[in-house]
Structure 1
Amino acid sequence: MTIIAKPDSSDSVDKAKDEQQPIKIVSKYVYQGNDKQLIQDQVITELPLQIRLIWQEQQQTKQQINSKIFSITMRTPGQDQALILGLLYCEGIIKTFNDVIKISAESESTNQWEVKLATHCQPDLTGLERYQLSYSSCGICGTTSLKSLELKNPPTLSDNRHWLNASAIYNLPKMMIQHQRLFQQTGGVHAAALFDENSQIIQVNEDIGRHNAIDKLVGSLIDGQTKVPKNSTLVVSSRVSFEIVQKAVMLGVPVLIAVGAPTDLAITAAQRFNLTLIGFAGSQSFNLYHGHWRLKALPKE
């Protein structure tokens, strides 16, 4: 797969590059009691990312080139290629790294990207509402059903039992935040982290959108052709919606841990696809909604 960004050519490009930085410096007033102080602060950047798919389709005796906007999503600039790969993988558009021939920037601002799919890859976009703006807080809408996930042919999750320590679960969110560079600077981003069964970090990614953080993680793994261990855990710094469960299932991760609450559909999906789902994970407690048999027995049990 080839990744291309168009060459720089003018002062306007330098300005566009500056706008693409993940962190911006702003001024703010801090009020304390009857006093106020003007200081500078670091905030996270939020910009739109447009993804256009290009693929060939056999039409009787000739090949037809198709082009369609797949998604427009708000994201934190950086790791755009990983975000695109991860989103396409989690949505079932691609199955492997080899399904993509080229990812290239349509414009010098790098907010518009084209993805050329391999000839053997024929995306099924029927029933998908793609001509919409997907805000950073909500992910791609219109696919929140168990049936839609089943049709993506997700991998079967490992059913290995009793490999995850409860004591490790208390520490995983803390370990993740230690690797959140952008969060430490701004406090304004979500994160997704993949751990192996020994609580060793495999990959950590950040973005203003919780869905985007996971897509960047998935895309980084695909780009590096990194195999996901059968006994692995995905930790997210957010609540858990159906889409978050979908991404974990499509990645083949059997345990999903969140610092926030799960929705009812997320729990139903976890039950349907045999995912261990944990919410409200803190340093001293957590809630387990499904899949307790992957945890090791407690000393008093």
Structure 2
Amino acid sequence: MGRVTVRHRLVAVDTADGSRVQRMDALAGEEPLELRANGEAITLTMRTPGHDLELLHGFLYTEGVLTGLSDVATARYCDGAVVDAEDGSLRNTYNVMDVALSPAATGRLPGAIRNFTTTSSCGVCGQASIEALQAKLPGPISSDLVVDADVVATLPERLRAAQQVFARTGGLHAAALYDPLADTLVVREDVGRHNAADKVIGHALLAERLPAQDQVLVLSGRISFELVQKAAMAQIPVVVAVSAPSSLAVQLADELGITLAGFVRDGRMNLYSGADRVRTTVGR
């Protein structure tokens, strides 16, 4: 398995006194992960190693290939993924995963493959890709979930406090699923914001907690169209972020009845859609 963090020697410069000091620093790990279905490569993403099984499940679920755990027969790292340059032997890089799909999921794969991007960190590009994604989306989210504004206000800080690798490197995005009933937060980190969301959604799928109509998706950065799309595929009714949403994200959330809370910090927030799901003590 690749490393989540990598040590690297750097030169720290202080412009106030012109000093230059060499020291070791921790960098967030970034390695390629090739995803294969039934032995055939379908996409390559750059990710932070760890929770790869969740990433695979979450990615295929949010792309509409999987509808449940029954669509996956097996999922494993590929043995002998590369040839060792020194001795010519095969070795496992833990950077290639293969999933054996059910006949039904295999049938859904061709339509999804045309829309897979080469890296999940880039997001969706082009009107044709957006229209293809929208065609796969479910209808409006049906959920009775209501969350107190005081609780929503705490979620980005709780997410930040749980980012163990970010605390060491300062170089990772994070996503979390918050369960208001149990007051629990499941957090995943990655160099790609979309990978982080796929990991946490994959966790919910493996725990048989999808659809997640009673959960809140919490993001460490901005809210993009693709992240709203992933929330919609998982039937998550509320998305909370420390930063801003894009115009397409707001448009899609409004169409699907998803609550978007952006700029959630310092006891304040902007509700861009679905404001009725956030309860305040004095008005709305």
TM-score by length of 1: 0.82
Is the CA contact 2:147–2:279 (under 8 Å) kept in the aligned structure 1? Answer: yes
- Aligned partner of 1:268 in structure 2 is 251
Root mean square deviation, CA, Å? 2.2
Deviation string 1:24-51 (CA, Å, 9 cap, x unpaired) is 0111111122212111111101111111
The number of residue pairs the alignment matches comes to 268
Q: Distance in 2 between matches of 1:222 and 1:109?
A: 26
Whether 1:111 aligns to 2:110 is no
Bigger Cα displacement from structure 2, 223-232 vs 279-288? 223-232
Where do residues 59-98 of structure 1 align in structure 2 (5 Å cutoff)?
68-98=40-70
- Which of 19, 39, 46 does residue 30 from structure 2 map onto? 46
Q: Distance in 1 between matches of 2:185 and 2:40?
A: 34
Whether 1:26 aligns to 2:8 is yes
- Identity between Structure 1 and Structure 2 (%): 33
- Aligned partner of 2:110 in structure 1 is 125
Is the CA contact 1:155–1:252 (under 8 Å) kept in the aligned structure 2? Answer: no
**Gap change, CA 1:186 and 1:127, over 3 Å in 2:** closer
**Gap change, CA 1:275 and 1:91, over 3 Å in 2:** same
Q: Distance in 2 between matches of 1:45 and 1:140?
A: 24
- Aligned partner of 2:89 in structure 1 is none
- Which of 204, 207, 215 does residue 224 from structure 1 map onto? 207
Q: Which runs of 5+ in 1 are unaligned?
A: 1-16, 55-66
- Aligned partner of 1:64 in structure 2 is none
Q: Which runs of 5+ in 2 are unaligned?
A: 82-91
**Counterpart code for 1:51:** L
Where do residues 1-301 of structure 1 align in structure 2 (5 Å cutoff)?
17=1, 20-32=2-14, 33-54=17-38, 68-106=40-78, 107=81, 108-121=92-105, 122-126=107-111, 128-129=113-114, 133-134=118-119, 137-139=121-123, 141=125, 144-145=129-130, 147-154=131-138, 156-160=140-144, 163-198=146-181, 200-227=183-210, 230-299=213-282
- Aligned partner of 1:12 in structure 2 is none
SS at 1:70 equivalent: strand
**Counterpart code for 2:111:** T
Deviation string 1:210-236 (CA, Å, 9 cap, x unpaired) is 000010101111122235553321110
Shift of residue 156, structure 1, vs aligned partner: 4.5
**Gap change, CA 1:144 and 1:244, over 3 Å in 2:** farther
Displacement over 4 Å in runs of 4+: 140-144
Shift of residue 265, structure 1, vs aligned partner: 0.7
Is the CA contact 1:71–1:130 (under 8 Å) kept in the aligned structure 2? Answer: no
TM-score by length of 2: 0.86
- Aligned partner of 1:3 in structure 2 is none
